[in-house]
Amino acid sequence: MRVLSGIQPTGRFHWGNYFGAIKQYIDFQEAHDGYYFIADLHALTTIREPDVLRGYVYDAALDLLALGLNPEKATLFVQSDVPEVSQLCWLLMTGAPLGLLERCHAYKDKTAKGLRADVGLFTYPILMAADILAYDSNWVPVGEDQVQHIEVCRDLARSFNAHFGEVFTMPEAKIVPGAAKVPGTDGEKMSKSYNNTLALFGDPKELRKKIMRISTDSRPMEDAKDPETDHLFQLLRLFATQEQIEEVRAIYLKGGFGYGDIKKRLADAADVYLEPSRKRRLELESNPEKVREILRLGALKARERASDVLTRAERACGIKSQS
């Protein structure tokens, strides 16, 4: 099965990015044909500083490789290095119903929060559909909040196929348990938009300080607490061993503890978990040419696949001759 997913370089990756998406990339690469891209075109809807965007793209490549994405098992590339996707996006836009985009919750949610709305944000699902369809993708691993975008992709592909023949492979959403549900420092979904993230890489001491400042409720120490409804416990279980999780669960149910102790346990567990990746990232930082070569080769492979799909679509709709 061919698995396709992308991640936006809109800042340094955080725990939500890893446990909601990146970890699944790494798991899927062992048994599937994985195409994973750094979505710089999508990032233009929020980042308007060229040097900042270039820096985020390179950092994203370093982070993904350090976290375990293996270029010998999966294809890693930058979205804009495959111009065929943008061309395919236009073909899809010509048949995309306006009402379909107006119903997309990502657009409605962002505008409701007062974030800048533009055509790029509005047509985001069409570019996402082009990303998926360009590689004859079978599975797209997503959290529940992204399922609607896959349905939009399927609607566009179904409509195109109905008009012009069986051009596109019909993708399926691969629901990832727990994806997009990592709580932030305030208990809400972890997101750069909410300024509640915990970084995967950076100064471990600064990370520990931020963990110790995580907001908690004001219930007395002696009260028993339900671990399943506590965001601090939800964060701890991402990193801790099963034995550690059960030990802390018992502490919650018994009561008589301070959240400061749980925060220290969380910081310790995260430090142990992330240390190997930190070391790999330092090694990659010392060899930037290797990183750029991985991205170059990944883009070449991705372009070859996308070019075949684009040509198929162009011939079907009359842009190019059938010969």
CA torsion sign for 187, 191, 194, 199 is positive
Q: Which of 23, 181, 192, 264 is catalytic?
A: 192
Catalytic annotation present for 192: yes
Strand partners, 173: 140
Q: Which helix (H) or strand (E) holds 38?
A: strand 33-38
- Burial class from Cβ neighbours inside 10 Å (0-12, 13-18, 19+) for residue 190 reads buried
Q: Which of 23, 73, 181, 189 is catalytic?
A: 189
Catalytic annotation present for 181: no
- Alpha-carbon distance of 87 to 307, in angstroms, equals 10
Catalytic annotation present for 189: yes
Contact in structure between 113 and 193 (CB atoms under 8 Å):
yes
Q: Which of 230, 278, 48, 5 is nearest to 135 (CA)?
A: 5
Q: Which of 23, 73, 110, 301 is catalytic?
A: 110
Q: Hey, is 318 helix, strand or coil?
A: coil
Which residues have C-beta within 8 Å of that of residue 156, sequence separation ≥ 6? 92, 95, 96, 126, 129, 133
**Residues with a known catalytic role:** 110, 189, 192
